[in-house]
Amino acid sequence: MATAIRVEQTISTPPETVWAAIADISTHVRWMEDAVAIRFTSAAHDGVGAAFDCDTKLGPFKLTDRMVVTEWEPGRTMGIRHDGVVTGTGRFVLTASGDGTTFAWEEDLTFPAWMGGDVGGALAAPALRRVWRRNLGNLKSLVEGWNAV
C-alpha cells in the first residue's frame, strides 16, 4: 500500500510565473531542502520522458531518487514516477487562485521492506510533510521575490 502525502501553498503570482520557477528541473535544489543534487540521465531535461537522479537527504537518511517525468502541462501540472529505492508517483499541480496560484504537491510513495514498508511510510509521512511545506515556502519566497524586483 502506498503512503499518500499532500501539501499545498498559495503563491501570490500567476501560474505561468510559478511554472517558470519549476520548469527547469535542475534548479529544484535551490528551493527543495531535501534535494542535494540533480543529474539528468536522459538527453531531455524537460517534458515527458526526461529522466534524472536526485540525491536526497532527510536527516540522517540519504538515497538517490530515480525519476522520470510522466506528465508535463506548462503552467498546470508536472508529474513524475519514482523508480529508485522508494517507488511511486508525484505531481505538482498549479491552479489559478484569484491573482495567485495554489501549488499542490501530491505523492503516493511505496517504501521497501528494509525501510519498514507501509509502517516506515506512515512514520516518514509527517517528516516529509514538514520538509515539503518548508520547500513550498522557499519556492513562494523565491517566486514572490522575483515579482518584487
Instruction: From 33, 14, 37, select the one nearest 138 (Cα to Cα).
Output: 33
48 within 8 A of 69, measured Cβ to Cβ = yes
Give, for all 149 residues of the chain, the pLDDT tens digit. Answer: 789 999 999 999 999 999 999 999 999 999 999 999 999 999 999 999 999 999 999 888 899 999 999 999 999 999 999 998 899 999 999 999 988 999 999 999 999 998 889 999 999 999 999 999 999 999 999 999 875 54
Which percentage of the chain shows pLDDT scores above 70? 98
- Name the average pLDDT for the chain: 94
For domain 3-22+67-148, give the fold. Answer: Alpha-D-Glucose-1,6-Bisphosphate; Chain A, domain 4 (3.30.530)
pLDDT tens track for 137-149:
999 999 998 755 4
Residue-range domain boundaries for the chain = 3-22+67-148
Predicted pLDDT at 148: 56
pLDDT tens track for 84-97:
889 999 999 999 99
- Distance, in Å, from the CA atom of 145 to the CA atom of 31, rounded to the nearest integer, reads 13
For residue 49, give every residue at least 6 positions away whose Cβ sits within 8 Å of its Cβ, in sequence order, or none: 42, 68, 69
Exposure b/e, 17-42, CB count within 10 A at least 16 = b: bbbebbeebeebeebbebbeebeeee
